[in-house]
């Protein structure tokens, strides 16, 4: 796959028919990356994978809390779920789909794509998709890479996703970051290399020539809520685009076990403002219109 021709040509940007709600507000895409607190990439040098099954799981209870929050605001969302989680918590998967949310793939066990060879990646996404479909009875259309680990050096992964039956990905973050990112990528949905797979980046806003994340994660906990509100409103009202927002179950779990021996930056990023997260989410759900990734983007292509 040619990197320059894949990303930098204007013909690859997708023209969307933007979906609006009954009040005329643009519908944005709400998403949850379903993983345990001990599975985040930042902890991979501190927690052995062999210990995962011995650690207290907390994500299922947090997913129940999230489902209640979404129900209270009449929101449908997309849950990018690890196959590892789904296999161990099939009732959680059933609750997600029974309440009308989209189930999507987050890979099997949160291994970054940069750490996989093509055949390993193919096996990973195929196994996850098959497991999620068997458990849910739903077609699995979407995929999000662990830690947004698809970028300029491994765009082959998008070809494999298309070959294995996925319809869209949300795996490229168009920013410069110390662990991931592809700043030259488009900010809004595009078709890589002219294929059918749709890549839908998490939302950023342009400020002083830079792309600033405004679509969730640690940035949502770091910046004042007023910034997120301003940025998403700008994306909706000035740029006329749907935003993509994401968060994790562990981000609403202030009482999760604290890990020892973490670097200052890792500790700051992971634990910052967890106690404020649910209240901020509730405000976000109230201030904007939200829907599932597949309905917002796959149902809006021209």
* pLDDT of residue 188 exceeding 60: yes
The string of pLDDT tens digits covering residues 132-169 is 999 999 999 999 999 999 999 999 999 999 999 999 99
Q: Is residue 13 part of a domain?
A: no
Q: Is residue 14 part of a domain?
A: no
Domain around 126 = 3-7+21-300
Q: Is residue 265 part of a domain?
A: yes
Q: Is residue 37 part of a domain?
A: yes
pLDDT of residue 8: 42
* pLDDT of residue 7 exceeding 80: no
Confidence of residue 66 (pLDDT cuts 50, 70, 90): very high
Mean pLDDT value across residues 21-28: 94
pLDDT of residue 262: 81
* pLDDT of residue 229 exceeding 80: yes
Confidence of residue 213 (pLDDT cuts 50, 70, 90): very high
Mean pLDDT value across residues 89-98: 98
pLDDT of residue 9: 40
Q: Is residue 12 part of a domain?
A: no
Q: Is residue 16 part of a domain?
A: no
Return the CATH number at 262: 3.20.20.370
Q: Is residue 162 part of a domain?
A: yes
pLDDT of residue 12: 54
Confidence of residue 14 (pLDDT cuts 50, 70, 90): low
Structure tokens at 92: 């959680």
Q: What is the mean pLDDT of the chain?
A: 91
How many domains does one find in the chain? Answer: 1
Q: Is residue 212 part of a domain?
A: yes
Confidence of residue 13 (pLDDT cuts 50, 70, 90): low
pLDDT of residue 16: 64
* pLDDT of residue 116 exceeding 70: yes
Confidence of residue 102 (pLDDT cuts 50, 70, 90): very high
Sign of CA dihedral 214, 273, 78, 183: positive
pLDDT of residue 208: 86
């Amino acid at each position: 796959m040619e990197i320059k021709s894949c990303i930098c040509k204007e013909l690859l940007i997708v023209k969307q028919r933007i979906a609006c709600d009954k009040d005329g507000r643009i519908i944005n895409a709400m998403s949850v990356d379903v993983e345990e607190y001990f599975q985040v990439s930042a902890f991979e040098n501190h927690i052995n994978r062999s210990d995962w099954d011995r650690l207290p799981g907390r994500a299922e209870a947090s997913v129940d809390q999230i489902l209640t929050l979404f129900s209270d605001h009449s929101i449908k969302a997309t849950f990018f779920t690890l196959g590892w989680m789904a296999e161990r918590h099939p009732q959680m998967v059933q609750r997600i789909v029974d309440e009308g949310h989209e189930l999507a793939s987050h890979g099997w066990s949160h291994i970054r794509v940069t750490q996989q060879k093509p055949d390993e990646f193919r096996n990973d996404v195929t196994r996850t998709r098959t497991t999620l479909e068997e458990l849910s009875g739903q077609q699995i259309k979407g995929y999000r890479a662990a830690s947004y680990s698809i970028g300029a050096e491994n765009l082959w992964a998008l070809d494999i996703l298309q070959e294995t039956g996925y319809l869209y990905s949300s795996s490229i973050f168009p920013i410069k970051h110390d662990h991931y990112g592809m700043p030259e990528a488009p900010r809004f949905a595009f078709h890589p290399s002219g294929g059918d797979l749709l890549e839908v980046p998490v939302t950023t806003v342009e400020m002083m020539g830079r792309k600033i994340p405004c679509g969730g994660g640690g940035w949502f906990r770091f910046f004042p809520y007023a910034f997120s509100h301003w940025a998403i409103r700008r994306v909706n009202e000035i740029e006329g685009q749907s935003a993509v927002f994401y968060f994790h179950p562990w981000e609403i779990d202030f009482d999760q076990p604290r890990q020892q021996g973490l670097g200052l930056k890792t500790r700051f990023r992971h634990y910052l403002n967890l106690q404020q997260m649910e209240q901020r989410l509730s405000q976000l759900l109230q201030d904007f219109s939200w829907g599932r990734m597949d309905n917002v983007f796959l149902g809006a292509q021209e």
